[in-house]
Amino acid sequence: MQIFWAIAAVMGGLSVAGGAFASHALQDQLSDRAIAVFGTGIRYQMYHALALLAIAILLGQGKAATAWLTAAGWLFIAGVVLFSGSLYLISLAGIKAVGPITPVGGVALIAGWACLAIAALRTP
């Protein structure tokens, strides 16, 4: 529970910092398309930081399907690293070779949501 709480806090804080960085420092450095790609990474990172925080809270209550929640949490973390991370590399460094990693991260995020749904259905 605590690791998810801490990672959620770091992911959320980095989302805010990244958004501020993009709107101030990167606006004149990147194309509109690169800013949009970066913004997508930031949004998904924040959404999943909040979802990970919810998982930490649910795990702290001790009433939910722990294994499924834990799987969801790790899938969200992996998904953010792969999905958002690849978008950051594409937009900031122009490394288009990481493009195939983006959908893998998306699948991890979707799998995390599926695990969260299963946890809900298996919780008494």
For residue 60, give the amino acid letter.
G
pLDDT at 31: 92
pTM (two decimals): 0.94
pLDDT at 25: 86
As a whole number of angstroms, the distance between CA 115 and CA 112 comes to 5
For 94, left (φ over 0), alpha (ψ -120 to 50), or beta? left
Neighbour-count burial of 112, counting CB atoms closer than 10 A to its CB (0-12 exposed, 13-18 middle, 19+ buried): buried
Q: Which residue has the tokens 């809270």?
A: 57
Give first-to-last CA distance, the chain, whole Å.
Answer: 20
What are the pLDDT tens digits along the chain (124 aa)?
Answer: 899 999 999 999 999 999 998 888 888 889 999 999 999 999 999 999 999 999 999 999 988 889 999 999 999 999 999 999 999 999 999 999 999 999 999 999 999 999 999 999 998 8
Question: Coil, helix or strand for 100?
Answer: coil
